[in-house]
Chains A and B, each alone.
Chain A
Amino acid sequence: MKDITFKHHDPDVVLSLWHATKRFGGLTAVGDVSFRVRKGEIYALIGPNGAGKTTIFNLITGVYSLTEGRILFNGTVIAQGENIIKDDMRETEVKPFKKKPYDIMSRGIARTFQNIRLFKSETVYNNVLTACHAEADYNIFQSLWRFKKGPKWLTKYARQEEALRQKTEELLKIMGIWQYRDMVAVNLPYGQQRKLEIARALATDPQLLLLDEPAAGMNPEETMALMQLIREIRDRFDLTVLIIEHHMDLVMNVSDRIFVLNFGKPLAEGTPAEIQSNPDVIEAYLGKEEDADGNA
């Protein structure tokens, strides 16, 4: 299927959701959510449990199809819902569609999962090596010979595989899990499994990294270290990060802008300072403030 790309798209915007809606039967998991993530930004999605944060990730990565609205990545439509809601974007006639997950991911998106999904019975090293696959394009027959010297088509495997191994080593060292390389992934300590998942995501050379509760199950010190790490990898790999997180310390410190969801509906958007003082957000998180008489 041919890509639909908007020529007048702002090149600074990596990801944009336009009135994205997802309904499961009668339940609206995500209702009319619109936001733009700019290049190089750390953008946080927050909201109480069941607010539809992970559903948004699944919509972006093509696991679910959109009911309404449209999602663009670098100006290319990656998901399109049934009804096009008229907005400031030029009207284009497109039928609802969804690109295949692997297609979306190979365009430069990578993600981690809320409940860690590693290749469990493989080693740490192989987990990352597997994810590097996109850089090697040798075919089945070329993987049957491993000549180190000779004409190009004979040495393709050896050359590309060497490059993959170097990249894997580099990534594991950056994430500080190189010493665990021969361990089976499922035996890793929890915090290291999270790191491995990020390393695996980075192996696909993404422009946009989606982190789904990366600090879940981590103690405060580990969370602080993770925060530092997220900033580091953002700068190092020139990434844009979209993050879902419950640790408010982490969110307020690390993110440039925050989007708040409540029951699938957008509640607020702004800088951490703006969000912290937003009465709607406080209400959603803490409940209505009561006065001395107990009246809301």
Chain B
Amino acid sequence: MSWYYIEGILIQSCYTLLIVLGLSILTGYTGMFSFGHAGFVCIGAYVSVLCTMGFGLPYWLALLIAGLTAMVFGAGLGKITLGLKGDYFCIATLGVGEAIRLIFNNLNLNLNIGGKSFILDGAKGIASIPLHTTFPIALVIVVFFLTATALLMKSKHGRNMLAVREDELAAQMCGINTFRSKMLAMCMSALYAGIAGGMLAHYFGYLQPKMFLMTKSTEYTIMVIFGGMGSITGSVLGTVLLCALPELLRAVGDWRLVFYGLAVIVIMIVRPKGLMGGKEITDLKWFKAIVRLFKGKKKEQQPPPDEGEKPGEEAQA
């Protein structure tokens, strides 16, 4: 395997991770299943290409605009659909995701921007997009968002989202504005997907609406569930494994998708809550042990645990 090939898989993993991270906020943390995320990625991809090729804007600005456009769209969609419960929300996103793809499939544009013409030719898509997405750039972006998400989820805003997932009525009864929490999750999720769309477009160098089929949306959702709902570590693991797996299985030709499906089924049977089961890497015993090893001396200064307090004793009281 050449480095070029491996780099390709890594870049793909990076932008997929960004999408899955966003979806993890919406599905894993807030408990709302979305099957239309490819739609947001699609919007991000097209907007970013319009920015770089049409308006000649720099790559980073194009990504930002792509993300914000997707976010505005997500907010609008959220305003309409966030009142829906469970399955209904799921169906609504599914419909919207497909609708977005079909719009781009039938959209014929011939824009004349400052003398340059920008042609969007429906299902034929766009070719010869500048290849700006390199592995270092993709890695920096994804690590930035990974850190931001991890920090945010440990804050009040993340806890409110979790409360919505656990029990929406109880969350409301704690004075949590559940609509606002859901809207925040939706906006962040769309923002991430939009940016990832821009990265995707500038990695492949061409763009076609059929790159954003509904199967893509389900694939992202599978990655979230595979890694474990409500776990960022899980999303990372799920994405990297499920991105690499089809490539590793290239040897078996067309059978690889069968093996892919089998692998997902086996994991869901062995670990029904996903790989990480809602836990973060920092919650794991071996990780704590390693941290303790590094901080060896600090441990001794900590006060001993409260004496005489064992779970179970109080139960009879």
A117 → chain B closest CB, angstroms: 4
Task: Tell me, in angstroms, the Cα distance from A283 to B152 when the chains sit together.
Answer: 58
Judge whether B116 is part of the interface by a CB distance below 8 angstroms.
no
Judge whether A119 is part of the interface by a CB distance below 8 angstroms.
yes
Task: Tell me, in angstroms, the Cα distance from A200 to B174 when the chains sit together.
Answer: 8
Total interface residues in chain B, CB < 8 Å: 33
Judge whether A19 is part of the interface by a CB distance below 8 angstroms.
no
Q: Contact at B311–A140, with CB atoms within 8 Å?
A: no
- Residue interface mask B296-317, A partner, CB < 8 A = 1: 0000000000100111011101
Q: Contact at A191–B315, with CB atoms within 8 Å?
A: yes
Stretch of B119-127, B156-164, B192-200, B251-259 that contacts chain A: B156-164
Judge whether B169 is part of the interface by a CB distance below 8 angstroms.
yes
Q: Contact at B309–A122, with CB atoms within 8 Å?
A: no
A61 → chain B closest CB, angstroms: 6
Name the residue on A nearest B177 (C-beta).
A102
Task: Tell me, in angstroms, the Cα distance from A131 to B170 when the chains sit together.
Answer: 10
Contact A126-B172, Cβ < 8 Å, known A120-B166, A176-B314: no
Provide the residues of chain A in CB contact with B172, threshold 8 Å.
Answer: 100-102, 105
Provide the residues of chain B in CB contact with A203, threshold 8 Å.
Answer: 174
Judge whether B7 is part of the interface by a CB distance below 8 angstroms.
no
Judge whether B110 is part of the interface by a CB distance below 8 angstroms.
no
Q: Contact at B167–A120, with CB atoms within 8 Å?
A: yes
Judge whether B176 is part of the interface by a CB distance below 8 angstroms.
yes
Judge whether A157 is part of the interface by a CB distance below 8 angstroms.
yes
- Residue interface mask A86-107, B partner, CB < 8 A = 1: 0000000000000011100110
Provide the residues of chain A in CB contact with B170, threshold 8 Å.
Answer: 113, 117-119
Task: Tell me, in angstroms, the Cα distance from A122 to B153 when the chains sit together.
Answer: 14
- Residue interface mask A142-184, B partner, CB < 8 A = 1: 0110100000000001000100100000000000111110010
Contact A144-B173, Cβ < 8 Å, known A118-B167, A130-B163, A133-B159: no
Provide the residues of chain A in CB contact with B309, threshold 8 Å.
Answer: 178-179
Q: Contact at B278–A133, with CB atoms within 8 Å?
A: no
A42 → chain B closest CB, angstroms: 20
B242 → chain A closest CB, angstroms: 24
Q: Contact at A129–B175, with CB atoms within 8 Å?
A: no
Provide the residues of chain B in CB contact with A101, threshold 8 Å.
Answer: 169, 172-173
Judge whether A25 is part of the interface by a CB distance below 8 angstroms.
no
The 7 A-B pairs with the shortest beta carbon distances in the complex, nearest first, are A143-B155, A119-B166, A179-B309, A106-B175, A105-B175, A117-B170, A101-B172
Residues of chain B having any CB pair with chain A under 8 Å: 148, 151-152, 154-157, 159-160, 162-163, 166-167, 169-178, 184, 278, 306, 309-311, 313-315, 317
